[in-house]
């Protein structure tokens, strides 16, 4: 299992210090967070900064197969897409292959239908895909909570069918899925199939997006998640997105990393 911790688990640290903490607890893989990638972009040219950061990460045996594009970006607004393109340039230099993205949602606009919102997203995604056409980066659409057109596997597959491009895939957020009516994790994974390129592993009790670690106080069946991803041949990282667990001293956060490894390794070894 390629066990990964989202770098924002250490959001209070610099991008480099986050790497040092991950190395200390034996985490080889990480998802480069929105916060840390934006910190890096503030330093200058995306490509040059990204190359330097990759050199540091390589020196400390940490790699970033996955990254999260700006959470607050309005995909359908050209100005925000310019920021996303800079992030994608940074990701290319760092070595990120799977870039997680939220579709633009109806909550950002007034008086538009689901179909109109979907079409706007298609146009915007075409623009981003054109920007990365000469790379091996895949934009992974994450299932959301409220918008019906982006909260389940069928909705995300619709975008893939419309665009028909290898640069578009799916990210399953287990916590988000647990908050909608059809919360069947196995069904989502089977439907996504070969298009599932990224994971956000998080738990909650069904009342809100609490971002808890597995097998703590939530409802997500992580045994099912791991077994089903193995069945479809998923070969990406098993990335933890658990900001609900990060408000602790560094030492306690390290203990949690050890606990998480033990829990997920147990599930991984089950048949």
Higher-scoring residue by pLDDT: 224, 217: 224
Does 245 have pLDDT greater than 80?
yes
Residue 227: Cβ within 10 Å count: 16
Stretch 45-67: mean pLDDT: 98
Write down the pLDDT at residue 125.
98
Give residue-wise pLDDT tens across range 115-136: 999 999 999 999 999 999 999 9
Beta-ladder partners of 32? 67
When the pLDDT of each residue in the chain is averaged and rounded to a whole number, the result is 95
| Residue % of the chain over a pLDDT of 90 | 92
Write down the pLDDT at residue 216.
76
* Dist. CA 185–CA 60, nearest whole Å: 34
Write down the pLDDT at residue 218.
93
Q: What is the CATH number of the domain that holds 70?
A: 3.20.20.150
Which band of pLDDT confidence, cut at 50, 70 and 90, is reported for residue 271?
Answer: confident
* Dist. CA 219–CA 203, nearest whole Å: 7
* Dist. CA 1–CA 50, nearest whole Å: 26
Least confident among 158-172, 191-205, 212-226: 212-226
Q: How many residues does the chain have?
A: 271
Give residue-wise pLDDT tens across range 13-32: 999 999 999 999 999 999 99
| Residue % of the chain over a pLDDT of 70 | 99
Q: DSSP letter at 166?
A: T
Which band of pLDDT confidence, cut at 50, 70 and 90, is reported for residue 204?
Answer: very high
Number of domains within the chain: 1
* Dist. CA 155–CA 115, nearest whole Å: 11
CB 180 within 8 A of CB 226: no
CA atoms within 13 A on the CB side of 219: 16
Write down the pLDDT at residue 114.
86
Which band of pLDDT confidence, cut at 50, 70 and 90, is reported for residue 257?
Answer: very high
CB 8 within 8 A of CB 238: no
**CB-based contacts of 240, cutoff 8 Å, min separation 6:** 3, 4, 5, 6, 9, 201, 202, 213, 214, 260
Token reading at 205: 């009790």
Give how far the C-alpha of residue 192 lies from the chain's centroid of Cα atoms, to the nearest Å. 15
Domain residues for the domain of 75 are: 3-268
Write down the pLDDT at residue 110.
74
Stretch 126-148: mean pLDDT: 95
Write down the pLDDT at residue 113.
87
């Amino acid at each position: 299992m390629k066990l990964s911790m989202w770098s924002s688990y250490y959001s209070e640290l610099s991008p480099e210090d986050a790497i040092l903490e991950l190395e200390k607890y034996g985490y080889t893989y990480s998802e480069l967070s929105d916060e840390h990638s934006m910190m890096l972009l503030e330093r200058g040219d995306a490509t040059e900064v990204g190359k330097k950061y990759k050199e540091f990460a390589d020196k400390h045996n940490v790699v970033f197969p996955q990254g999260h594009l700006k959470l607050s970006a309005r995909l359908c607004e050209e100005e925000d897409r310019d920021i996303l393109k800079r992030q994608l340039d940074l990701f290319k230099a760092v070595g990120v292959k799977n870039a997680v993205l939220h579709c633009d949602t109806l909550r950002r606009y007034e008086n538009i239908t689901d179909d109109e919102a979907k079409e706007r997203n298609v146009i915007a995604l075409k623009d981003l895909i054109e920007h990365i056409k000469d790379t091996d980066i895949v934009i992974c659409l994450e299932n959301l909570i409220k918008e019906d057109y982006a909260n389940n596997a069928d909705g995300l597959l619709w975008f893939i069918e419309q665009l028909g491009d290898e640069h578009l895939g799916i990210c399953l957020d287990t916590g988000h899925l647990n908050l909608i009516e059809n919360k069947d994790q196995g069904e989502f994974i089977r439907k996504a199939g070969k298009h599932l390129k990224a994971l956000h592993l998080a738990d909650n009790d069904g009342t809100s997006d609490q971002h808890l670690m597995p097998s703590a106080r939530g409802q997500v069946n992580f045994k099912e998640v791991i077994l089903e991803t193995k069945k479809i041949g998923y070969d990406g990282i098993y990335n933890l997105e658990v900001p609900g667990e990060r408000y602790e001293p560094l030492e306690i956060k390290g203990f949690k990393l050890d606990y998480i490894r033990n829990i997920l390794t147990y599930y991984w070894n089950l048949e």
